[in-house]
Amino acid sequence: MEQRDLKYEFYIGAAPETVWNALVSPEGTRQTFFGSVIHSTFEAGAPYEYIGPGAEGPDVVHVYGTILAYEPNKLLSMTEHPGATYAADHETRTSRITYTLETMGGCTKLTLVNDQWSPDNASYENAEKHWWMILSNIKTLCETGKTLDFGW
């Protein structure tokens, strides 16, 4: 299966600081990333992990990697691996995730690019499907203060 770059653009009726908070704060990520909280010092070269509830318990590492760039309210770029509970070959499954925020009048343009996929990365299909849900949830949270009910 061809693994092209995934690119999403969302226009959100909120300030960049509000969108940024949804991307990097414990409260924001818990609400928008399926109950997971991002843990990192957010310095270039630092590790990060999304930890949250899963089939194996309350503190499952769902995704991990390295921070590549961090510019508050503007840019977050990082490598990405699925957690060890998802695949024995998690260390070789890699891609890059880059969030960019731009002020557009009274709203924020959030662009996400998920690229640099390792060959035959089995996480691609899952990412392609779930980014829409995560980004829609971020938009809804930032605009309404509530998250989406996915019926789970």
User: pLDDT tens digit string along 98-123?
Assistant: 999 999 999 999 999 999 999 988 89
CA angle 82, 87, 88 (to 5 degrees): 120
Q: What is the pTM of this model?
A: 0.93
Contact 79, 95 (CB under 8 A): yes
- Within 10 Å of residue 33's Cβ, how many Cβ atoms? 21
Strands (DSSP E) contained in the chain are: 6-12, 37-40, 47-54, 57-71, 75-82, 95-104, 107-115
Tokens of 112: 């996400």
Percent of the chain beyond pLDDT 70?
Answer: 99
Task: Give the contacts of 57 (CB within 8 A, at least 6 positions apart).
Answer: none
CATH number of 6-144: 3.30.530.20
Q: Decide: helix, strand or coil at residue 133.
A: helix
